[in-house]
Each structure stands twice: as C-alpha cells, then as structure tokens.
Homo-oligomer: A and B are copies of this chain.
Amino acid sequence: MKAGLRELKRAGFKLTPQRRAILETLKSSGKHMSVEEIHEKVKTKCPHAGLATTYRTLDLLKELNLVTDINLGEEHKHYEWKRRHHYHLVCLECGDVVEFRSNFAIKIEKNVLKDYDFEITDRHVEFCGYCSRCAGGREG
C-alpha cells in the first residue's frame, strides 16, 4: 500500500476517495500548494468534494506528520508533502519560492538535540530576501 494511505490506515482512519485524492494531489504535485489550489485539483476527481473536507484532511495529514504547512508572506496557508531537510527561500520582490538544501541543516539539528535536548519532528524554515534577478535591480 502506498505511503500515506498506509499511515492513515494504520492510525485507524478510513480511506475515502476524498482523502486519497487530496493525498495524491499533494504528493504528485511535488511543490507547495494553497488550500484552494488543492481543492480545485481534488474537484476534478471528486466533483462534489467540499472545501471543509480539504481543510479537515490537511489537518489530519499534518497530525500524522505527512505534510508540512509553510507560511509564504502573510496570505493563506500553503501545504506540501513532507521531505527531509528541505527549506525555502522566498523572494520579497518577485514572490518566487526556491527550495534549498544545506549540509549545515543537519548539523544545526544535531546542535539542537545536543545543546537543548530538544527532539525535532517538524521544521519551518523560510529565509526571505532577494533572489539573484531581483537583487540586481535594487541597488544599481
């Protein structure tokens, strides 16, 4: 059984078409999506799907540690299928969101465990600033 469905099942939740659709949408898209975007996509598979179910299911998937929510600026929330040590750069000028990885990310987390005795299960790391294209225009 596919990852995601497996965890839902194991935790005693029913595998409804709506849940399958939401899960599949996020997993296959491979990027962050707003609740509305997810809902629109889900409706192509389940035309009667209600928005509340999308909210409920995303909460559930978050609870099960399968998805993460990211906050881009101030607007509405975005979700994405969880991946390890995968952070975000958000350009304040063009709004572009670039993923990044750093070897130091792992070291920071070891630091946190060792120095603060804190066990990390989820991460929200967004660095905001200016991407190469936009930085140029700002200062000559």
Q: Which residues of A contact B (CB under 8 A)?
A: 71, 89, 91-92, 98, 100, 102-105, 107-109, 111-112, 115-132, 135
Contact = CB atoms under 8 A, between A and B. Distances in A.
Contacts of A109: 127
A123 to B, nearest CB: 6
Nearest to A130: B119
A71 B135 contact: no
A46 to B, nearest CB: 25
A117 to B, nearest CB: 4
A128 B70 CA distance: 13
24 contacts: A71-B71, A89-B112, A89-B118, A89-B120, A98-B116, A100-B116, A102-B112, A103-B111, A104-B105, A105-B108, A112-B127, A118-B129, A118-B130, A119-B130, A120-B128, A120-B129, A121-B128, A122-B127, A122-B128, A123-B126, A123-B128, A124-B125, A124-B126, A125-B126
